[in-house]
Amino acid sequence: MNVLNANTLTWSQPNTISNVLTPRGGYTANLLNNSFIVYIGGLQFVNGVYSNVDMNEIQIFNTNSLSWSTMHAYGDVVTARNSHTTVLTNDGHIILFGGNSANDINDNSIISALPDLAILDMNVSPYKWSAPNITSAYASPSLCYHSATLYNGIMFIAFGLQTSSRSPNYYLYIFDVQKYTWVSSSQPNSLSSTTSSTISSTTSSTTSSITSPAISSTTSSTNSSMGQGTSGIIISAIVVGGFIFIFIIVGIFYLMKSKNNRDNPIPTAGTLPDNIHVIPTPGTNAYRFHNDYAQNLRDSK
């Protein structure tokens, strides 16, 4: 066993005492309010042989004394399994769903574990299993390697493999743990202000009903799509407008630069620009002409 300290994010190995479990995988663990952890099922490895743990052998770990104990449950028959899920309800029950009853770690070895759904009552001692006969058009098929999440009295089943076909599960299934029935949709209770502020960007999804595969999408998804489409058009218009503005500025700059080049031609050999005045040097015709011109101006005065 390994323990993660959530405050320091460091791992450690506690010195557990008595009845240490056999190595196993594919089990479930649920933490109770009394600091006990309940371990159910799984595939164990003993003397070189894999086998599923008896579902009536409920392993319990006391987090205060760091000790193990075993509760021998009774009641309806629940097939040994691994790769199942369990959720803990507020009224002291553990709801088990799905699993693989094959005594093999090979992924191709998948056998449905019956019943698909079972309930462990921990309000009695010893614990008691019951397997209610629940049929519904909205019920989940037999699954393994899936996930189960309990929220506001609703258990959500997702992902995993269908044990009958070994094909992936692409749907979400909903089970009401208070009424013990599969439902097509669920209206979540009002969220707290803290939670609402955290997920304010998805308000439309929290106010709409959660629907199983048998029910079509609600209008909130349509409104959300329309809002996203409008936002996309506005963003696209802004981007295109920015490119046009930059193109116009570059064009004006280029035209002004071209005009300046035409107004100031490059001098060619044998010519002088109009703004350059050559000072005549002594001994040249230009110098003599300049002197004669200046003398004539003085004589005329």
Give residue-wise pLDDT tens across range 240-288: 777 787 878 877 777 777 666 555 555 545 554 555 455 555 666 655 6
Summarised one tens digit per residue, pLDDT across range 102-149 is 998 876 789 999 999 999 999 999 999 999 989 888 999 999 999 999
Query: Is residue 237 over pLDDT 90?
Result: no
Query: Is residue 62 over pLDDT 80?
Result: yes
Q: Which of 119-123, 190-194, 201-205, 262-266 has the highest mean pLDDT?
A: 119-123
What pLDDT shows up at residue 15?
84
Tell me the C-alpha distance between 269 and 247, whole Å.
39
What pLDDT shows up at residue 197?
34
Tell me the C-alpha distance between 69 and 51, whole Å.
20
Q: Where are the domains of the chain?
A: 3-183, 223-265+276-300
Query: Is residue 206 over pLDDT 70?
Result: no
Mean pLDDT over each residue of the chain, to the nearest integer? 79
Q: How confident is the model at residue 200 (pLDDT cuts 50, 70, 90)?
A: very low
What residues contact 155, with CB distance under 8 A and at least 6 apart? 87, 95, 97, 148, 149, 174, 175, 176, 177
What pLDDT shows up at residue 289?
59
What residues contact 147, with CB distance under 8 A and at least 6 apart? 85, 157, 158, 159, 160
Omega before 213 within 30 of 0, i.e. cis: no
What pTM was computed for the model?
0.63
> In terms of DSSP bridges, do strands 128-130 and 74-75 run parallel, antiparallel, or are they unpaired?
parallel
Retrieve residue 214's tokens: 């048998």
What mean pLDDT is predicted for residues 178-194? 71
What mean pLDDT is predicted for residues 57-68? 93
Which is nearest to 117 in space by CA: 70, 57, 181, 163?
181
What mean pLDDT is predicted for residues 69-81? 97
Higher pLDDT among residues 48 and 293, named by residue: 48
What pLDDT shows up at residue 105?
80
Burial class (CB in 10 A: 0-12, 13-18, 19+), 163: buried
Summarised one tens digit per residue, pLDDT across range 79-106 is 999 999 999 999 999 999 999 999 988 7
Q: How confident is the model at residue 218 (pLDDT cuts 50, 70, 90)?
A: very low
CA distances from 159 to 37, 82, 167 (A): 25, 16, 10
Cα-trace Rg, the chain:
42
Tell me the C-alpha distance between 136 and 151, whole Å.
21
Q: How confident is the model at residue 236 (pLDDT cuts 50, 70, 90)?
A: confident
What residues contact 113, with CB distance under 8 A and at least 6 apart? 79, 80, 81, 84, 98, 99, 100, 101, 142, 144, 163
Q: What is the dihedral of CA 157, 158, 164, 168, to 10 degrees?
A: 180
Contact indicator for 43, 25 with CB cutoff of 8 Å? yes
Which is nearest to 110 in space by CA: 120, 100, 119, 123?
100
162 beta partners: 143
Contacts 24+ apart (CB under 8 A), 173-177: 173/138, 173/139, 173/140, 173/212, 174/138, 174/210, 174/212, 175/95, 175/97, 175/117, 175/140, 177/87, 177/89, 177/93, 177/95, 177/150, 177/153
Summarised one tens digit per residue, pLDDT across range 23-41 is 899 999 999 999 999 999 9
What pLDDT shows up at residue 214?
43
Structural domain 3-183, CATH architecture: 6 Propeller (2.120)
